[in-house]
Amino acid sequence: MDNVTNLVGRPSAEIFAEITPHVDRDFRARQVARWLIDRNATSFAEMTDLPIAMRENLARKFTIADPEVLEVATSGDESHKYLFRLADGATVEGVAMRDGSKATFCLSSQAGCAVGCTFCVTGALGAGRNLCPDEIVGQYRIMLREIGSEVERVNLVFMGMGEPLLNTANLGRALDVLSERVSLKRITVSTAGILPGIRWLGKLPKRPKLAVSLNAPDQERRQRIMPIARRYPLHDLFAELRRFPLEHGRRITFEYVLIRDFNDTPADAEATAKLVGKIPAKVNVIPLNEDAEHFPELRRPTVEKVDSFGRVLRDAGLNVTVRWSRGADVAAACGQLRGRQQIAGR
C-alpha cells in the first residue's frame, strides 16, 4: 500500500482534485470529499451513493487510513485517553473529555517534545518527530467516532504531546481540514512561546485561538522551568503578543502552572496581572499535575493557595479560570502524556 494515496488529512478541495480523474462525473468527487470530511467515513464501502464498481476502483487507488488505537484508558471522570500507533511505529496520546452535550479533544502535534519544560512528562521524555496532517486529523476522526455522536459541539485544543508551533507546515494543513468541521473559534493552539510560530499564526487569513504557556512572571524563573525561554525571552515574547492580531472579542489565553513554593504567592499573582494586563487576556491557572517518576521534587500548592492566587488575578480585573485537570488517574491530565503503553502496576 506504499504507493496508495491516503485521503485523510486532506481538505475537501484537494480530495476533489485527487478523485476527479478516477470518476465519471465531477459530482462523484464531491461526494467522496463529503463522505470523508462531513461523515468521517473509514472506507469506500461506506459510500453507498457511489456505484459499487466505482467504490472498488477507488479502493485500489486510494486509502482512508487513521492511526491505530493501541489502548484506551477511561478515567473516573469519564475522560478517555487514547494511545495511537502511527505507520512507522511511533506512538502518541490524545484525550477526549466529555461535558454534557460538549466535548473537548486534546490533540498531539509531535511524537515527543524538544522544548523540555521541567513540569511536563512529555518534555522529560525528549524529542520526537513532527506528525503529518493525516496523523493529526486522524486523532480527531477516531475520537469523533467514539463519542462525537453523543455531543452537539466539539472543541479542539493542541495541548497534547509536542510543541505545535515547531510543526507549522503540518499544523497548517491539519487546521485547513479540521476547520471544515469545527469552527476556528473552537480550536486553540497552545505554545511555549515560539516567536516565529506565533508570527506565522498571526499571518494566517483565518486563525484559531492562541494560548501561551507562561508559568512565571519573570525571565529568571521562567527559563528555569522552561528552557526554551532562553531562546525566546519574556520581553520579546510580550512584544510579539502585543502585535498579534486579535479578532473582535478574542483574547490570548495564558496558561500558568502553579508549583508549590516556586511561583504560587500573591506577589507572583500581582506580577502576572501586571505583565498580562495590557493585553486582552484570559488566565488559566493550572495546579501542577505531579509525577513522582519524572519530577518528584515538584509539588502542587494547597487548595487555599490556588484559590488565593486566582483571587488576586480576579481582583486585578482579569478573566480567570482555575483549571483542575481531568483524567489524572489515568495519566491523561495536563503535562502527563507520554505516548507509551503503561506497564502494569505503574
Strand (E) positions, the chain? 5-6, 62-63, 68-74, 80-85, 91-99, 102-106, 153-158, 187-191, 209-213, 252-258, 281-287, 319-322
Residue 219 exposure: Cα atoms within 13 Å on the Cβ side? 9
The secondary element (H helix, E strand) that includes residue 259 is none
Which CATH architecture is the domain 5-63 placed in? Answer: Orthogonal Bundle (1.10)
How is domain 68-330 classified at the CATH fold level?
Answer: TIM Barrel (3.20.20)
The CA distance from 113 to 17, in Å, is 35
The CA distance from 336 to 130, in Å, is 19
Contact (CB, 8 A) for 161 and 112: yes
| Chain-centroid distance, C-alpha 340 | 18
Contact (CB, 8 A) for 112 and 152: no
Strand (E) positions, 179-333? 187-191, 209-213, 252-258, 281-287, 319-322
Catalytic residues: 93, 334
Grid coordinates belonging to 279: 493585553
Tell me the angle at which helices 133-147 and 168-178 cross, rounded to the nearest 10 degrees: 40
Tell me the angle at which helices 195-203 and 234-243 cross, rounded to the nearest 10 degrees: 0
Grid coordinates belonging to 179: 476547520
According to DSSP, the residues that pair with 93 across neighbouring strands are: 83
Contact (CB, 8 A) for 278 and 242: yes
The CA distance from 297 to 150, in Å, is 41
The CA distance from 147 to 181, in Å, is 15
The secondary element (H helix, E strand) that includes residue 295 is none
pLDDT of 344 reads 39
pLDDT of 44 reads 98
- Supply φ then ψ for residue 271, to 5 degrees: -65, -35
Pairing between strand 102-106 and 5-6? unpaired
Domain segments of the chain: what residues?
5-63, 68-330
According to DSSP, the residues that pair with 209 across neighbouring strands are: 188
Report DSSP state, residue 49: T
DSSP string, 115-146: S--TT-HHHHH---PBPPHHHHHHHHHHHHHH
Which of the residues in the chain have pLDDT under 70?
A: 1-2, 148-149, 331-333, 339-346
The CA distance from 197 to 213, in Å, is 14
The CA distance from 168 to 146, in Å, is 28
pLDDT of 339 reads 65
Would you call 329 helix, strand, or coil by DSSP?
A: helix
Grid coordinates belonging to 225: 522551568
Q: Is the dihedral of CA 224, 230, 231, 237 positive or negative?
A: positive
